[in-house]
Amino acid sequence: MKKSLLTMVAVVLCLCMFAGCSTDAPSGGGTQTDAETASNEVFKIGATGPLTGGAAIYGIAAKQGAELAAAEINALGGLQFEINYQDDEHDAEKAVNAYNALQDWGMQIFLSSVTSTPAVATAVEAFEDRVFGLTPSASSTAVLEGNDNIYQMCFADPNQGSATAQYVADNYPEAVVAVIYKNDDVYSKGVYDTFAAAAKELELNIVSETTFTEDSQQDFSVQIADAQNAGADFVFLPMYYQPASLIFAQANAVGYNPTYFGIDGMDGILTLEGFDTSLAEGVMLLTPFSADAQDDKTVNFVTKYQEQYGETPNQFAADGYDCVYAIYEAIQSSDGAITVDMEAPAICEELIAIFNGGFSFDGVTGAGMTWNENGEVSKSPTAVVIQDGVYVGVK
Amino acid sequence: MAFLSHLISGISLGSVYAIIALGYTMVYGIAKMLNFAHGDVIMVGGYVSFFAASAWGLHPVLGLLLAITVCTVLGVAIERFAYKPLRQAASLAVLITAIGVSYFLQNAAQILWSSNPKVFSSIVGNTNFPMLDGRITVSLIALATVGACIVIMILLTWFTGKTRMGKAMRACSEDKAAAQLMGISVDFVISVTFAVGSALAAVAGVLLCSMYPTLTPTTGAMPGIKAFTAAVFGGIGSIPGAMLGGILLGIIEIMGKAYISTQLSDAIVFAVLIIVLLLKPFGLLGRHVTEKV
């Protein structure tokens, strides 16, 4: 009796050892497939993003977009993708832990991180490990600096700031401009800095510059009064839509109704639950993605996304979706040079060559996107204005 | 004229801080603990009121009453399950537990209601009164907040000063063991304190969200910290102190932003706090109680 028990234990232990040998066995979170298929037929794409915490809306959107794209691609029957999103809570340290978990899982391609602060931290790791990274939405240039293998799907911050200044100078040369930005946020401050520099060059008339921080983003009465008393008729808001919605409501309450101009973070304001969209009437923004666009790609994406998740996709979902498709098309364009059994560094070198070698991609966030060797994307932002609660292209 | 409108903004912001600070100060005064989860009870109150109005179509006043009920039950439950078992433990253990409860509430809210911000519609509507020939505008919600703050303070002063329960609370605050010997059920008094504090949190939540209408699971965190500061500023444990501290904090914050720098507003607030505490270590209206050995 005792002996047979011992044998059984021995057999079980042996089995465990064999299981341990198979390094490609999926571990950690993500969709679990059985070890056989995972090691041979599926590209393992890892990513980190804030799935909980204050920035969770961005991480969850990017994750859902990426997973939708992967599901569509897998349904085609050719290349197979497995997406593994790890939570980084918009925190640099947790992002590195999440990155390490993905490495243990056997990640081959990295969708970097969703938000800029964690993305800067994971980019350094991915650079050292030679894992190709394509971030959906971490727009800070610090993500790219010194890392030849990290690319962006979104505009880099400087481009948004200078493009806005250029747009205002071209179309509203007489504008009296006020700016309100979030001083402790790399995204908001980054856009503001390049906007201010470009505005100086273009001789825009900026009369009021005020700031707020994460801890003081409720009361904007002072900032609004400053813009109003300075006579600004044009207010630039380089920020996410949540503080912007408060600014609209508070300015309206004191009877101040200038023309507002936002950036891509303003996208989402119309889907804010309970928001009175008439407050956002006439808000203009430069954005690469609008859920109301009528082209086939966008309509297909928006419809499927709504079916699957019951909400209208925002910019981050679109960026996540495009990232997976860009990688899919890049792998296809390699004519078999990239295969599923390759290690991450080998795939990385191939993908860098493709992304720098005139690769062009049409997605829901723009047509004919190309990348330069820094990893910045080139696509043209379109100006949209909110009319009757929907985005309308500006003529 | 700009000064006057900043002053009005400051007083109405300060009134919200004051109502939250009253909750902090009552719990501290009686249970001698810092209930860091107080800010998150505010958030729960905001959500209850939001769903009462948007999902169930209840009248705002009913929504407010519902929020008060839910928060009162929640406050008592938190006390019963998280703090009561630690009544004899070191105060540091209770403090850490309070921080844990705070995170628990935030994450539970995120699971229940997602982190997508919701826009709260003001319980008194968006009426504004132009004053002085339209040169400044005062919103109805600002007046309602200041009014609510004054009414709550008068009620609380009456409650702690004149009622039997209030006397029991003051007795517990002075000396728990002696109060117990006099036949006061200390556990019950502390439960009532949490109930009152959490009911105030619900009112504060509804007023806060009416003034600044976006609601997220972290909505209560920063106002909670600011109100805690206000309570210390005014003298923690003192009811008029919490009121005075809250309103002064609101005015200093807005004036600091308007006349010194928008970048430094919070630094200015805390710098004033430090100066006050250097001059009056127990806050503006706090009293020094000698520990008897």
Tens digits of residue pLDDT in A230-260: 999 999 999 888 889 899 988 988 888 999 9
Residues A165-185 pLDDT 10s: 988 898 888 899 999 999 888
Long-range contacts of B169-175 (CB under 8 A, 24+ apart): B169/B30, B169/B193, B172/B30, B173/B29, B173/B30, B173/B237
Q: In the structure encoding, which two tokens stand for residue A140, read together?
A: 């800070």
CA atoms within 13 A on the CB side of A309: 17
Count how many residues are written for chain B: 293
Calpha distance A135→A123 (Å, rounded): 10
B-proximal residues of A, 226-255, CB under 8 Å: 226, 229, 242, 245-246, 249, 253-255
Q: What span, in angstroms and rounded, lies between the C-alpha atoms of B96 and B92?
A: 6
Query: How much is the average pLDDT of A142-152?
Result: 90
Q: What per-residue confidence (pLDDT) applies to B139?
A: 82
Whole-angstrom Cα distance, residue B135 to residue B130?
7
Question: Rounded CA gap, B190 and B94, in Å?
Answer: 14
Averaged pLDDT of chain B: 88
Predicted pLDDT of residue B195: 94
Sign of CA dihedral A206, A211, A217, A222: negative
Most confident of A50-64, A251-265, A319-333, B275-289: A319-333
Let me know how many helices (H) and strands (E) chain A has, helices first: 12, 15
A279: which chain B residues are within 8 Å (Cβ-Cβ)?
A: none
- Please count the residue pairs, one from chain A and one from chain B, whose beta carbons lie less than 8 angstroms apart: 100
Residue A31 has pLDDT above 70, yes or no: no
pLDDT at residue A62 in the model = 94
- Structural domains of chain A ordered from first start: 39-155+297-378 (3.40.50.2300), 158-287 (3.40.50.2300)
**For residue B258, what is the nearest residue in chain A, using CA coordinates?**
A222
Two tokens, residue A392:
């309308």
> Are A57 and B115 an interchain contact pair (Cβ–Cβ within 8 Å)?
yes
B211 phi and psi angles, rounded to 5 deg:
-80, -45
> Between chains, do B254 and A56 touch, taking CB under 8 Å as contact?
no
B189 to chain A, closest Cα gap in Å: 35
CB of B140 closer than 8 Å to CB of B127: yes
Query: Distance between terminal CA atoms of chain B?
Result: 56
Gap between the Cα atoms of B15 and B131, Å rounded: 21
Task: Indicate the residue of A57, A219, A225 with minimum beta-carbon distance to B116.
Answer: A57
**Who among A212, A229, A255 is closest to B262 (CB)?**
A212
User: Among A57-61, A96-100, B199-203, B243-247, where is mean pLDDT lowest?
Assistant: A57-61
> Do β-strands B128-131 and A366-371 pair in parallel, antiparallel, or remain unpaired?
unpaired
Among left, alpha and beta (phi > 0; psi -120 to 50; other), residue B116 is: beta
Under a CB-based contact definition with an 8 Å cutoff, are residues A203 and A170 in contact?
no
Percentage, residues of chain B above pLDDT 70: 97
Tell me how crowded residue A9 is: count the other CB atoms within 10 A of its CB.
10
Q: Are A38 and A83 in contact (CB under 8 A)?
A: no
Which helix or strand (DSSP H or E) is residue A223 part of? helix A221-229
pLDDT above 80: residue A118: yes
- Can you give the pLDDT at residue A29? 41
Q: Which long-range contacts (CB under 8 A, 24 or more apart) does A6-10 make?
A: none
pLDDT band at A34 (very low <50, low <70, confident <90, very high): very low
Distance CA B287, CA B100 (A): 30
Would you say A243 and A182 are in contact if contact means Cβ atoms under 8 Å apart?
Answer: yes
pLDDT for A173: 87
Q: What is the least distance, in Å, from the CA of A51 to any CA of chain B?
A: 9
CB atoms A52 and B253 under 8 Å: no
The per-residue pLDDT for range A1-21, each reduced to its tens digit, is 455 555 555 554 444 444 444
Q: Which of B48, B143, B38, B45 has the alpha carbon at shortest distance from B99?
A: B38
- Higher-pLDDT residue of A345 and A294 is A345
| Residues B49-95: tens digit of each pLDDT | 999 988 888 888 899 999 999 999 999 999 999 998 988 888 889 88
Cα Rg of chain A, angstroms: 23
Among A284, A286, A289, A287, which Cα is nearest to A302's? A289
Contact by Cβ (8 Å): A221, A253: no
Please tell me the distance from the alpha carbon of residue B275 to that of residue B267, in angstroms, as a whole number: 12
Q: Which neighbouring-strand residues pair with A391?
A: A386
Q: Nearest residue on chain B to A250, judged by CA atoms? A: B212
pLDDT at B164 over 70: yes
Query: Is the separation of the CB atoms in B36 and B224 below 8 Å?
Result: yes
User: In angstroms, what separates the C-alpha of A246 from chain B's closest C-alpha?
Assistant: 6
> Tokens for A14?
């042996």
Cβ-based neighbours of A232, under 8 Å, separated by 6 or more? A176, A177, A178, A207, A208, A258
B50 in A contact zone (CB under 8 Å): yes
d(Cα B145, Cα B210) in Å, to the nearest integer? 9
Q: Under an 8 A CB cutoff, do B117 and A272 touch?
A: yes
- Report yes or no: B88 at the A interface, CB cutoff 8 Å: no
Kindly provide the b/e burial profile for residues B173-203, where b requires at least 16 CB atoms within 10 angstroms of the residue's own CB.
beebeebeeeebebeebbbbbbbbbbbbbbb
Q: What is the DSSP string of B175-192?
A: -HHHHHHTT--HHHHHHH
Give this complex's ipTM: 0.76
Residues 173-202, chain A, touching B (beta carbon < 8 A): 183
In chain A, % helix, strand, coil (3-state, to 5) comes to: 50, 20, 35
Residues of A in contact with B217 (CB under 8 A): 54
Task: Give the 3-state secondary structure of residue A133.
Answer: strand
Residue window 158-197, chain B: list those with CB within 8 Å of chain A. none
Q: Point out the least confidently predicted range of A32-36, A318-322, B80-84.
A: A32-36
Which residue's structure tokens are 């930005």?
A181
Of residues A221, A253, A275, nearest to B128 (C-beta): A253
Q: Which residues of B touch A272 (CB under 8 A)?
A: 116-119, 214
The contacts of residue A209 (CB under 8 Å, 6+ apart) are: A178, A179, A181, A196
Higher-pLDDT residue of B29, A24: B29
Contacts of B213 (CB under 8 A, 6+ apart): A245, A246, A249, B119, B120, B121, B122
The pair phi, psi for residue A42, each rounded to 5°, is: -120, 130
| Residue B258 CB burial class (10 angstroms; 0-12, 13-18, ≥19) | buried
CB contact (8 A) between residue B110 and residue A183: no
| CA of A57 vs chain B CAs: smallest distance (Å) | 6
pLDDT at A82 over 90: yes
Banded pLDDT at A395 (limits 50, 70, 90): low
Share of chain A above pLDDT 90, in %: 43
Residue A17: per-residue pLDDT: 46
pLDDT in tens, B115-139: 778 888 877 777 777 776 667 778 8
SS3 content of chain B, % helix, strand, coil (to 5): 75, 5, 25
Six-digit token string for B256:
């600091």
- Output the average pLDDT for chain A: 84
Q: Report A:276-315 residues touching B (Cβ under 8 A).
A: 276
Q: Is the pLDDT of residue A301 over 90?
A: yes
Place of tokens 């005064």: B29
Of A229-233, A307-311, B119-123, B165-169, least confident by mean pLDDT is: B119-123
Q: What is the predicted pLDDT for the residue at A55?
A: 77
Tell me the two tokens of residue B98: 């309070």
For chain A, report the end-to-end CA distance as a whole number of angstroms: 86
Q: Test B117 with A255 for CB contact under 8 angstroms.
A: no
